[in-house]
Structure 1
Amino acid sequence: MGEKVSQLPRETPKHPTIRASNSSFVLEKASSVKYEDRPIPELKSPYDVLVNVKFTGICGSDVHYWVHGAIGHFIVRDPMVLGHESAGIVTEVGSSVTTLKKGDRVAMEPGVPCRRCVRCKEGKYNICAHMAFAATPPFDGTLAKYYSLPEDFCYKLPENLSLEEGALVEPLSVGVHIVKQAAVRPGDSVVVFGAGPVGLLCMAVAKAFGANKIITVDINEDRLAFAQKYAATHAFRSQRESPADSAARLVKECGLGPGADIIIDASGAEICIQTAIHALRVGGTYVQGGMGKNDITFPIMAMCTKELNVKGSFRYGSGDYQLAVEMLAAGRISVKELITGKVAFTEAERAFEDVKAGKGIKMLIEGVKD
């Protein structure tokens, strides 16, 4: 008999052939990702469902984890599956599930609260201290073939909505929550700083809520032009000037009279926040939706003397996801225009690179092919 020849391990290709099981896009550490086959999630509760993920959008937080390996005190210490803006098809249901069945197409709300703490009981589960949120350490995200969720965190998509639109229900719900925090009413003037995905969706929701004048503020001419075609009635380009001067110019050029009724910041930029406070009318409302530096210089005197309503906004809460689905289904809001392109699951890293480079508005990653 001849000698046995030992086989050397094959070199792993950059984009491996996806094998059956739960193929996942995993962040090992900052700037290092890989494809990995993981076990298909088991249903931990009779009220859980298993979803075959079909489309996932890329969020700024996903890119931040990819680049830096952390956001604030949330640090990637162990390999973590990325992604949290997803939609898919139900493939398995728990024994106590009554609202969904196998084959249903669903938008997936990616954060599951404890349901027992004071914040949860008062209806503010988005600020639950024990929230298990997808792709926030130590919890894995949805960029995998399969993902499990409780049935009440999966929202059945009406027939007139695509799975691609279903993936954008997540960022739309952020916009819904911000605009609800602002208590936008018919006839209001609303200024939105930042014409990225969340800013654009805030404009669309404000319009659906009846805002009369919607002003987009950005430094990017292309985004300003897109915003005006999408939902804004006016555009204002930021320049190198003091916040007070910029606010005065904004109010004058956009015909805001005594100032804006409501201003939303979706940029997180210090100068935008400062300008916004100066541009509000007496008794106006300011909502912080964008995240920036931990600490900034804030015009507290203007806030006090105008007796402004100043609020934070974090993710989405009770009723926001359902309202987002209903407004899409009724045609009150459209998100199709925001989808810049789609890439295969095996090209996920390229999509992250495009988002980091500021290409387009919203990139979608297709689910694992069978």
Structure 2
Amino acid sequence: MNPGVAVVVDEPGSARLADTAPRAPGRGEVLVRVHACGLCGSDRELFAGTRPAEYVRYPVTPGHEWAGVVEAVGDDADPSLAGRKVVGEGFRNCQTCARCRDGDPTLCTAGYDETGFTRPGAMADTLTLPARLLHVLPDDADLHAAALLEPAACGAAAVLAAQVQPGDRVAVVGDGALGLTALQLLAASSPAELLVIGGGTERAAVARELGADSFRTKDEPVDDVAGRMDVVVETAGASASARTSAELLRRGGRLVLTGIPPEGAAGLDPTDLVVRRLDVRTVFGAPPRAWSHAVRAFALGLLRTEPLITHRRPLAEFADAIALVGSGDPAVGKVLLIP
């Protein structure tokens, strides 16, 4: 196999572009030629050293949001996968513990293990992984757009947990990739009202294009909608976003929390939760059923991710790409690395 290159983060703050030899697929594995890899806040945490120690293993090649084409298939893997466009789940679950057997492999009791954090990721020319983690895409799929199917799968997990019914009044708090993919899946449920609360006005137009009926910023008052929503999906992970989300709900409403807030974030009032009988659910990662939901919606054209991409950079510009992600510039949406 021809040599390739990969981004390697040796330790927090130290990254380099290294020559690598693609690892031939073993039993049950495939070798994927990576076409695009997305960056997110967790990649920035990995580089900065602020990700909890149990959720990263240095040195590591980052990259858990990716799309590519199967180049080689190992023994006992489906040979028809060769040449197919694919995305893949990141969690390397044990498949045998009670949580895995219940269909919740992101809660695997064997311990955390994920592509791009504890295993080599997709910020490289190639990626070798178990074939069981793949989801096959249509032959005409845009692989740059498909690289956003990992955050979309997390959004799908939130939507499935929300159990939205036609005619529900729904709000999404957060206008990042997670929020704007969840928005589209929620819109497909025919809600009576679909509100997005974002960080600023910069993404109002794209939110409306993707299905929002109305948009307001986190700094605008919510008194007129407080206590009205049947379902709120929180994706921002900001200091006050969980509490804001709860304020929007009617009595007996459903709140799905997906964002991971910073230390010291405002908590939910337990008295309020009990008195108003709020149903609070949480999402961490995406189980296979959520991946399947997102991939089907993408294949049908119900989920569009290309409007969320604002920057593309080569692997050699990893440090600049990470700086873009952490810049706070509202003009920066999803940043892709292109091998």
Q: Tell me if the contact between 2:315 and 2:338 (Cα under 8 Å) persists in the aligned partners.
A: yes
Give 3-state SS (helix, strand or coil) of 2:81's partner: coil
Q: Flag the 1:97–1:219 CA change in 2: closer, same or farther, 3 A.
A: closer
In structure 2, what is the equivalent of residue 238 of structure 1?
218
Structure 1 residue 341 corresponds to structure 2 residue 306? no
The alignment's TM-score, normalised by the length of structure 2, stands at: 0.92
In structure 2, what is the equivalent of residue 79 of structure 1?
59
User: Displacement, 1:39?
Assistant: 3.5
Specify the code of the residue in structure 2 equivalent to 1:36.
Answer: A
Structure number with greater Rg is 1
In structure 2, what is the equivalent of residue 3 of structure 1?
none
Residue ranges of structure 2 left out of the alignment (5+ in a row): none
Structure 1 residue 33 corresponds to structure 2 residue 23? no
In structure 2, what is the equivalent of residue 279 of structure 1?
248
Q: Tell me if the contact between 1:200 and 1:231 (Cα under 8 Å) persists in the aligned partners.
A: no
Give 3-state SS (helix, strand or coil) of 1:106's partner: strand
In structure 1, what is the equivalent of residue 233 of structure 2?
264
Distance, in Å, in 1 between the alignment partners of 2:287 and 2:162 is 14
Specify the code of the residue in structure 2 equivalent to 1:250.
Answer: V
* Match for residue 289 of structure 1 among 258, 261, 264: 258
Q: Flag the 1:174–1:297 CA change in 2: closer, same or farther, 3 A.
A: closer
User: Displacement, 1:20?
Assistant: 4.6
In structure 2, what is the equivalent of residue 182 of structure 1?
162
Give 3-state SS (helix, strand or coil) of 2:19's partner: strand
Specify the code of the residue in structure 2 equivalent to 1:330.
Answer: L
In structure 2, what is the equivalent of residue 10 of structure 1?
none
In structure 2, what is the equivalent of residue 200 of structure 1?
180
User: Displacement, 1:220?
Assistant: 0.9
Alignment of 1:124-143 (within 5 A): 124-129=104-109, 130-136=111-117, 138-143=118-123
User: Displacement, 1:157?
Assistant: 1.2
Q: Tell me if the contact between 1:277 and 1:299 (Cα under 8 Å) persists in the aligned partners.
A: no
Give 3-state SS (helix, strand or coil) of 2:288's partner: coil
Alignment of 1:1-370 (within 5 A): 20-45=2-27, 47-67=28-48, 69-74=49-54, 76=56, 78-98=58-78, 100-129=80-109, 130-136=111-117, 138-239=118-219, 246-251=221-226, 259-294=228-263, 296-357=266-327, 358=329, 359-367=331-339
Distance, in Å, in 1 between the alignment partners of 2:309 and 2:218 is 26
Specify the code of the residue in structure 1 equivalent to 2:319.
Answer: E
Give 3-state SS (helix, strand or coil) of 1:217's partner: strand
In structure 2, what is the equivalent of residue 16 of structure 1?
none
Distance, in Å, in 2 between the alignment partners of 1:50 and 1:99 is 12
Specify the code of the residue in structure 2 equivalent to 1:277.
Answer: A
Specify the code of the residue in structure 2 equivalent to 1:283.
Answer: G
Which whole-Å deviations, capped at 9, do the CAs of 1:207-246 have from their partners, x for residues lacking one?
1232231111123111233322322111122238xxxxx5
Give 3-state SS (helix, strand or coil) of 1:203's partner: helix
Give 3-state SS (helix, strand or coil) of 1:74's partner: helix
Q: Tell me if the contact between 1:99 and 1:151 (Cα under 8 Å) persists in the aligned partners.
A: no
User: Displacement, 1:99?
Assistant: 6.2
Give 3-state SS (helix, strand or coil) of 1:71's partner: coil
Percent identity, aligned pairs only, is 26
Specify the code of the residue in structure 2 equivalent to 1:48.
Answer: E
Which whole-Å deviations, capped at 9, do the CAs of 1:102-149 have from their partners, x for residues lacking one?
21111122222110111000111111133421122x322211111112
Specify the code of the residue in structure 2 equivalent to 1:40.
Answer: P
Give 3-state SS (helix, strand or coil) of 1:200's partner: helix
Output the aligned Cα RMSD. 2.0
